[in-house]
Structure 1
Amino acid sequence: MDEKDRRILACLQADGRMSNQELADRVNLSPSPCLRRVRQLENSGVIQGYTALVDEQAVGLSVTAFVRVRLQVHSTESVNTFERAIAGMDAVLDCYVMTGSADFLLRVLVESLKDYEEFVRYQLHAVPYVASIDTSFAYGHVKRATVFPRLKASD
């Protein structure tokens, strides 16, 4: 991956809806080579897809919870069971494997505290091997970046 590819990625992360012509202009390429580079980035799996950023509040998902989960045992079976269960939970937007006191960190998005309680009681508690659940609620949002730090390029 060269500097042109990095600039293409930065531009697409900032605005995935820009036309190929606009992208080509921004990275100083003609449209055909620019499109070839984008297709190569897609085919190689560097670009995994395109999406829209949606305001959680606007669609009624006003509660963001960061949930630290510790497992009772650390076996292949317990980890695989937990990961499979989490993969099927719509309220979980992100799940990270962690170092430190928690084994996993979840970002959960729900409509209300009541919905969060139901998520914990009926989904998370139902997962085998869960030893502890520790939740922090976000009450504000300071920054959301969409362009990776290494990709930021000066215009």
Structure 2
Amino acid sequence: MELDNIDRRILSALLEDGRASVETVAKKVGLSPTPIRRRIKQLENEGVIKGYSANIDQALCGLSLTLHVSINLKSLDQFIRGDFEKRIKSMPEVQRCHLVTGSSAYFVVLKLKDINYYNHYLRTVIAQLPGVSGITTQVVIDTIKDKIEIQ
């Protein structure tokens, strides 16, 4: 699906407020509600809009520590990767996991309650994942920008 300027403006409005009514989005975009409703439905059907969710303050939910973890595997064999990926997908502490280029195989974003919990989690969970041969961790001190924008 090729996105035009109107689609991008609709997406921007929904990224700003996912609970906005069709009428509110229509006012921001400058069209009537009927074509906006049709376009939103098409964006949903095409998979551009994958869903709607709440943007929560994770620190207020007890998850104040963000960690960026680079993980190497002994081999990138499809069976080792498959087992690793299956397990990492099931871990609620893992917010994102990317297969990347460079010195590591995977880049993982974790949200945890504190560094003591991470110390335990590192030894008992991450280091025990199948095929793991190396782990490098960076602790996020401050988040400068955490926003998705469409241009």
Would the TM-score normalized by the shorter structure come out above 0.5? yes
Aligned mate of 1:5, from 2, 7, 18: 7
Residue 128 (1) aligns with residue 130 (2): yes
Aligned-pair distance for 1:36? 0.7
Residue 32 (1) aligns with residue 37 (2): no
TM-score, normalization: structure 1?
0.92
- Residue 116 of structure 2: aligned partner: 114
- Residue 78 of structure 2: aligned partner: 76
Between the aligned partners of 1:121 and 1:24, the Cα distance in structure 2 is 51
Q: Identity, % of aligned pairs? A: 35
Between the aligned partners of 2:84 and 2:16, the Cα distance in structure 1 is 34
How many residues align? The count is 149
Give unpaired runs (5+ residues) of structure 2.
none
- Residue 41 of structure 1: aligned partner: 43
8 Å contact from structure 1 (residues 14, 146) kept in 2:
no
TM-score, normalization: structure 2?
0.94
Between the aligned partners of 1:18 and 1:93, the Cα distance in structure 2 is 26
Between the aligned partners of 2:90 and 2:97, the Cα distance in structure 1 is 12
- What is the root-mean-square deviation in Å for CA atoms of aligned residues? 1.0
State which drifts further: 137-146 or 67-76: 137-146
Runs of 4+ in structure 1 off by over 2 angstroms are none
Aligned-pair distance for 1:32? 1.1
Between the aligned partners of 1:11 and 1:97, the Cα distance in structure 2 is 31
Give unpaired runs (5+ residues) of structure 1.
none
